[in-house]
Structure 1
């Protein structure tokens, strides 16, 4: 499987939906699917602009990373998780261009980066859920005049 197709498969079929599912409901899943569709269109444009030849791998990775950042941000996925994966993608693209890594080794490293990104996003989602739960347990909202609401989080 070509590097781009492998990456796109990992990201669109596994990573983005899985990362979003860490802290999402049906509305979030629909938004993720919409962003995936947009991202697929942009990565097709990257493929057309940068054919898979030596010298283009890093450019293509940068182009696809841009689509990934935008889709992830619009889907509400941890920036840090996407940033880790995009950074690895760009580095591997540069190494492929320089001929210092084989495509098989690049696939292996990309797969490892996917697992790290998932772990990072899952950890971020758990922290957000914990924060929200603590807020709900310790805070009360009180209506004020003119439709204003105040929140008290005293222990």
Structure 2
């Protein structure tokens, strides 16, 4: 089985979602199905069909999360010796060499990635170009618009 890297925060978020789905959402949906059944004819009962559809989505998500957690390799970077090298789980401040624009990214697993909150996947082109580099190094990242050079300004282990 292929292990998928995941941060401690990402694993905890998935566990919380799984717990909510099993203890809150699933019982609520079962109750909605029971109430809809009481209304009679199931063929033309929109409430029943909607509740069954919700049940399908909920059960599918539960299975998906359980699968992700089973194949996850949770990496706690607080247990890794501190250095200036960019590794999985680190937060890195990079500066575009051409524009002097600074950007901060946290390198996380695929399921945790969200560019809106500056979390990028370990498999993204930017992360792949940064992994293994140290503070002061210049990483050349190939983008659709051409190659962009970023200088690594800071590496944080938070």
One fold, TM greater than 0.5?
no
Structure in which a larger fraction of residues adopt strand? 2
Q: TM-score, normalised by structure 1?
A: 0.31
Q: Whose Rg is larger?
A: 2
